[in-house]
């Protein structure tokens, strides 16, 4: 290159750089304008979320640090409860973790409720993942009537949980459907483990379709060529499943597991309607509602504890399993 | 830049919330207001309210009453009323209060005291229901239906009803195959508390002392009473599936001929005689509950109507309260249509009523001698302690002695002990 062309190139370079800065500034201004518009568009939703979700959560935390009216004592002359509201700090939190209360009181039920909730979570999620993946594999194949099977599989998920609970309560009666079909005479809602299994069976029946759907979505993104080449290389069905399907479906599966775990940790409606929380089927949410009858602020403290517990579990799950809740599947299926 | 946007949104949100909070009216009505009212009651399993409402509405076209029915389960009725009262809802003018909730709702300041311009004449009423509606010396609710436990028995198999538990157990031999002997309500809910305290009373025990507050349930008499039920499951004179029974399943068992003795409330009578599928129509009798060494004692049930302090039409509400206590409604609606127990003394000696319901003298005696469950503003915690421990004792997973100790400690703790 001669010095002249070098200079010219340099000048062109400068002009090019200038145009580049001009373009970047225009893009920045445009994106600023975009972002302002975006804020204005989502502001109503954010306001709604703050009112519907944020305000109650903050209100519950504030209440949980105040003395409840029911614990303020009774005025001996009028017989009315005294005013509550005084700041008592972590009194109610200490009550839940460390009650030493007699059997039959809500305070005594905290640790059993934690145990029950964790048992429900672990067992139902394991069953749902196994059964849901099997169902997804079946639905993934092309066969006659596949559309009907896919629609039918969704029916349990579509039925409202209260109806499901009543349905299973009816079926689990001593002379009900389940006992007649299997020829047993188990009193399902009469003792601890039968009642727990009744609740878990109802939950597994209801939400396996949810996992099946999410896993199916994950399956459909896997390119067929992978299977072709694996077959050519001599891999059998089990090896194809373990080496190709599972790793590629893992992101979708982990998202499904995360959602299910969070759902079961806060479960209320199914056990409450089916067994009313009796026979050690009281979960943390049921315990909070039971406490509402006696002391609102203690119930608020328990709700906050449940909220933090679930938050912690979600955090741990996302970190440990690197659940890519935000990334799409496509990024992981690199050719 | 970013923070300013967040601040704007936050201020907007807080303003919205502030406006919304200000919109809800929290003013207590001064009293004496007139206008349409809403009457809130549990599910009308006896079918009495439509006719009563129609009669009132015909006479008061400008102050119509709307009957709102809640769930059929007492716990859910209670929670529903609590929610509306906490929200200071003026839409619940009159609420039906079970006898066990009067103290709690009155202590929380939700019920209009029935004195002064709202005083009720209680001289024609039975004593028990009036006492149950009184808290701290003032009446807070107007009783309209009472309830006492009764023993329904198959008179075709057992000609004379047993008066003691040992007689009942030996009568079990007279049941036919496929029948259970004795049934009640043993699922873990308020009905279990009723059955448990009735057994405790039947052996001469008590739950609280005469001051109504101090627990006194850890006694040999109470243990004997509870053992009647616990042994029932152990020895088999109570069917195993009874551990899941509430009022309706136990009624159905007796009604389909699968039970020899049933402990239940008076409302069952209408079903046993009137239902098309009743297998026991002319084959059953009604008797007082048996006890340990003689006749037992039932627990006092029943419902009263109370005016909410947040109602805007308290004058009309008070007139409706008096209306449902008039002799005509008590005799012709509550008793004849619903076979519910009236609170007035007169219907129990009315000859037409006794001709139609021969068990009326038994029912009156049951109510007159009935002992209430502990009257306390902390009743939810008390009943939970009783329910949980008795249920575990019936299942055999908790010895009766420990159950009673836990109940004793639970009642003390409930009152802030």
Q: Which of A16-20, B379-383, B389-393 has the highest mean pLDDT?
A: B389-393
- Which residues from B are below 8 Å from A81, CB to CB? 107-109, 377
Contact between B358 and B269 (Cβ < 8 Å): no
Q: Which residues lie below 8 Å from residue B125, measured CB to CB, with a gap of 6+?
A: B143, B325, B343, B344, B345
pLDDT in tens, A237-263: 888 888 888 889 988 898 899 999 999
B66: its two tokens:
């709307």
Tell me how close the Cα of B71 comes to any Cα of chain A, in angstroms: 13
CB contact under 8 A, B388 and A190: no
Nearest-by-CA chain A residue for B20: A51
pTM above 0.80, yes or no: yes
Of B5, B78, B406, the CB nearest to A103: B406
Nearest chain A residue to B187 by CA: give it: A190
pLDDT (mean) for A300-315:
94
Class of domain B150-299+378-414: alpha beta
Is the predicted pLDDT of residue A331 greater than 60, yes or no? no
Q: What percent of chain B has pLDDT over 70?
A: 92
**Average pLDDT, stretch A85-102?**
90
φ/ψ region of B281 (left if φ > 0, alpha if ψ in -120 to 50, else beta) reads: alpha
Chain centroid, CA A330 distance in Å: 23
Q: Assess whether the region B37-147+301-367 and the region B150-299+378-414 belong to the same CATH fold.
A: yes
Write down the architecture of domain B37-147+301-367 according to CATH.
3-Layer(aba) Sandwich (3.40)
Q: Residue B52 burial by CB count (10 A; 0-12/13-18/19+): exposed, middle or buried?
A: buried
3-state secondary structure A23-36: HHHHHHHHHHHHHH
Q: List the single residue in A with minimal CA-CA distance to B388.
A: A104
In CATH terms, the fold of domain A109-331 is: MetI-like fold (1.10.3720)
Is residue B3 over pLDDT 90? no
pLDDT score of A7 more than 80: no
Domain ranges of chain B: 37-147+301-367, 150-299+378-414
Q: What percentage of chain A exceeds 70 in pLDDT? A: 91
State the average pLDDT over residues B130-148.
92
Asked whether B189 and B255 are in contact (CB, 8 A), the reply is no
Residue with tokens 């639905």: A139
Higher pLDDT, B334 or B196: B196
Q: Could you tell me the two tokens for A325?
A: 């809740």
Q: How many CB atoms lie within 10 A of CB B281?
A: 12
Per-residue pLDDT band for A334 (boundaries 50, 70, 90) equals very low
If pLDDT is split at 50, 70 and 90, which confidence band does A8 have? low
More confident residue, B375 or B406: B406
Q: B417 pLDDT exceeds 60?
A: no
**Distance from C-alpha of B388 to C-alpha of A290, rounded to nearest angstrom:** 13
Chain B contact set for A69 (CB, 8 A)? 108
- The residues, ordered by sequence, that sit 6+ positions from B368 with a Cβ below 8 Å of its Cβ are B126, B127, B128
B5, B86, B188 ranked by CB distance to A39: nearest = B5
Instruction: Tell whether the torsion through CA atoms of B60, B66, B69 and B74 is positive or negative.
Output: negative
* CB-based contact A79 B389, cutoff 8 Å: no
Quick count: other Cβ atoms within 10 Å of Cβ A239? Answer: 12
Among A19-33, A218-232, B60-74, B162-176, the minimum mean pLDDT is found in A19-33
Question: Per-residue pLDDT for A6 more than 80?
Answer: no
ipTM for the complex?
A: 0.84
Task: Give how far B397 is from chain A: nearest CA, Å.
Answer: 10
Region A287-307: mean pLDDT is: 92
Whether residue B113 contacts residue B138, with contact meaning beta carbons closer than 8 Å, is answered with yes
Q: Residue A182: is it exposed, middle or buried by C-beta count within 10 angstroms (0-12/13-18/19+)?
A: exposed
pLDDT for res B211: 80
Looking at the complex, does the CB of residue A51 fall below 8 Å from at least one CB of chain B? Answer: yes
pLDDT reported for residue A5: 59
pLDDT value of position A149: 84
Chain B neighbors of A73, CB-CB under 8 A: 416
Nearest to B16 among A51, A78, A106 (CB): A51
pLDDT tens by residue, A308-330: 999 999 999 888 877 665 555 44
What was the pLDDT predicted at B27? 42
Cβ distance B134 to B313 under 8 Å?
no
Closest CA to B353 of B335, B326, B368: B335
**Is the per-residue pLDDT at B95 higher than 90?**
yes
d(CA B54, CA B255): 32
For residue B6, the model assigns a pLDDT of 63
SS3 string, chain B, reads CHHHHHHHHHHHHHHHHHHHHHHCCCCCCCCCCCCCEEEEECCCCCCCHHHHHHHHHHHCCCCCEEEEECCCCHHHHHHHHHHHHHCCCCCCCEEEEECCCHHHHHHCCCECCCCHHHCCCCCCECHHHHHHCEECCEECCEEEEEECCEEEEECCCCCCCCCEHHHHHHHHHHCCCCCEEEECCCCCCHHHHHHHHHHHHHCCCCCECCCCCCECCCCHHHHHHHHHHHHHHHHCCCCHHHHHCCHHHHHHHHHCCCEEEEEECCCHHHHHHHCCCCCCCCCEEEECCEECCCECCCECEEEEEEEECCCCCHHHHHHHHHHCCCHHHHHHHHHCCCCCECCECHHHHCHHHHHHCCCHHHHHHHHHCCECCCCCCCHHHHHHHHHHHHHHHHHCCCCHHHHHHHHHHHHHHHCCC
For A:93-152, CB contacts with B below 8 A are 101-106
Q: Which of B183, B243, B258, B414 to mutate to test the interface with A (most CBs of A within 10 A)?
A: B243
CA-based torsion, A52, A56, A59, A61: positive or negative: negative
Average pLDDT of B52-59? 93
Beta-carbon-side half-sphere exposure of residue B224 (alpha carbons within 13 Å): 15
* Helix A192-220 × helix A246-265 angle, to 10°: 140
Q: Each residue of B194-213: pLDDT tens digit?
A: 999 999 999 999 998 888 78
pLDDT of residue B14: 60
pLDDT at B30 (0 to 100): 46
- Higher pLDDT: A65 or B21? It is A65
How many angstroms separate the CA atoms of A239 and A243, rounded?
6
Residue from the list B79, B391, B413 with its beta carbon closest to the beta carbon of A278: B391
CA distance A286 to A165: 15
Is residue B246 predicted with pLDDT exceeding 60? yes
Mean pLDDT across chain B: 89
Confidence (pLDDT) at B311: 93
Tell me whether A174 touches chain B (CB under 8 Å): yes
Q: Do B20 and A71 touch (CB under 8 A)?
A: no
pLDDT band at A2 (very low <50, low <70, confident <90, very high): low
Q: Answer whether B107 sits within 8 Å of A79, measured CB to CB.
A: yes
Q: What is the mean pLDDT of residues B114-138?
A: 91
Q: Which residues of A touch B136 (CB under 8 A)?
A: 78-79
pLDDT of A195 above 60: yes
Per this entry, what is the length of chain B? Answer: 417
Portion of chain B with pLDDT greater than 90, in percent: 67
pLDDT of residue B31 exceeding 70, the answer is no
Q: Does residue A11 carry a pLDDT above 90? A: no
pLDDT reading at A184 higher than 50: yes
Decide: residue B31, CB within 10 A, 0-12 exposed, 13-18 middle, 19+ buried: middle
């Amino acid at each position: 290159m001669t010095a002249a062309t070098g200079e010219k190139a340099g000048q062109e370079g400068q002009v090019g750089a200038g145009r580049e800065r001009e373009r970047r500034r225009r893009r920045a201004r445009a994106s600023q304008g975009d972002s302002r518009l975006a804020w204005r568009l989502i502001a109503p939703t954010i306001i709604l979320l703050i009112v519907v979700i944020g305000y109650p959560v903050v209100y519950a935390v504030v209440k949980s640090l105040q003395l409840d009216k029911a614990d303020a004592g009774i005025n001996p002359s009028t017989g009315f409860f005294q005013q509550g509201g005084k700041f008592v700090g972590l009194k109610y939190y200490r009550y839940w973790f460390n009650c030493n209360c007699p059997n039959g009181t809500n305070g005594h039920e905290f640790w059993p409720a934690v145990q029950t909730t964790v048992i429900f979570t672990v067992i139902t999620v394991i069953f749902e993942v196994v059964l849901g993946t099997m169902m997804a594999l079946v639905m993934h194949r092309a066969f006659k009537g596949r559309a009907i099977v896919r629609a039918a599989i969704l029916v349990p998920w579509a039925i409202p949980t209260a109806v499901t609970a009543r349905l299973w309560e009816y079926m689990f009666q001593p002379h009900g459907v389940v006992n007649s079909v299997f020829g047993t005479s188990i009193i399902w809602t009469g003792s601890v483990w039968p009642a727990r299994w009744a609740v878990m069976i109802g939950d597994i029946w209801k939400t396996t379709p949810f996992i099946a759907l999410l896993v199916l979505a994950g399956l459909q993104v896997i390119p067929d060529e992978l299977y072709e080449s694996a077959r050519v290389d001599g891999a059998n069905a089990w090896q194809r499943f373990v080496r190709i399907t599972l790793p590629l479906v893992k992101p979708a599966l982990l998202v499904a597991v995360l959602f299910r775990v969070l759902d079961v940790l806060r479960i209320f409606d199914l056990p409450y309607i089916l067994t009313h929380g009796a026979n050690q089927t009281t979960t943390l949410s049921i315990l909070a509602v039971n406490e509402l009858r006696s002391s609102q602020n203690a119930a608020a403290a328990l709700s906050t504890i449940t909220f933090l517990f679930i938050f912690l579990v979600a955090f741990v799950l996302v970190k440990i399993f690197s659940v890519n809740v935000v990334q799409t599947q496509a990024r992981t299926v690199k050719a | 830049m970013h923070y300013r946007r967040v601040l704007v949104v936050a201020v907007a949100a807080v303003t919205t919330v502030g406006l919304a909070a200000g919109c809800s009216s929290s003013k207590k009505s001064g009293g004496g207001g007139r206008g349409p009212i809403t009457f809130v009651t549990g599910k009308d399993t006896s079918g009495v309210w439509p006719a009563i409402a129609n009669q009132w509405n015909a006479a008061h076209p400008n102050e119509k009453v709307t009957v709102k029915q809640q769930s059929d389960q007492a716990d859910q009725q209670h929670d529903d009323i609590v929610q509306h009262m906490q929200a200071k809802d003026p839409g619940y003018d009159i609420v039906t209060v079970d006898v066990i909730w009067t103290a709690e709702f009155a202590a929380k300041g939700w019920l209009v005291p029935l004195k002064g311009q709202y005083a009720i004449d209680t001289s024609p009423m039975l004593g028990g229901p009036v006492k149950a509606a009184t808290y701290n010396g003032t009446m807070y609710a107007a009783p309209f239906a009472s309830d006492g436990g009764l023993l329904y028995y198959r008179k075709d198999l057992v000609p004379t009803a047993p008066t003691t538990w040992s007689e009942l157990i030996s009568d079990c031999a007279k049941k036919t195959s496929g029948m259970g002997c004795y049934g009640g309500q043993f699922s873990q809910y308020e009905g279990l508390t009723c059955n448990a305290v009735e057994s405790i009373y039947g052996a001469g025990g008590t739950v609280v002392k005469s001051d109504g507050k101090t627990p006194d349930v850890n006694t040999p008499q109470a243990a004997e009473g509870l053992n009647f039920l616990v042994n029932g499951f152990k020895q088999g004179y109570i069917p195993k599936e009874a551990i899941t029974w509430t009022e309706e399943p136990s009624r159905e068992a007796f009604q389909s001929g699968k039970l020899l003795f049933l402990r239940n409330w008076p409302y069952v009578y209408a079903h046993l005689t009137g239902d098309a599928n009743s297998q026991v129509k002319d084959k059953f009798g009604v008797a007082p509950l048996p006890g340990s060494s003689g006749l037992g004692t039932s627990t006092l049930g029943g419902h009263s109507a109370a005016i909410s302090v947040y109602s805007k039409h308290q004058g009309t509400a008070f007139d409706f309260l008096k209306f449902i206590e008039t002799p005509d409604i008590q005799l012709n609606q509550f008793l004849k249509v619903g076979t519910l127990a009236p609170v007035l003394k007169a219907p129990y000696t009315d000859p037409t009523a006794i001709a139609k319901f021969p068990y009326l003298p038994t029912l009156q005696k049951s109510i007159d001698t009935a002992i209430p469950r502990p009257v306390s503003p902390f009743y939810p915690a008390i009943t939970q302690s009783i329910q949980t421990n008795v249920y575990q004792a019936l299942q055999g997973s908790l010895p009766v002695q420990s159950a009673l100790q836990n109940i004793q400690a639970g009642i003390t703790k409930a009152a802030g002990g």
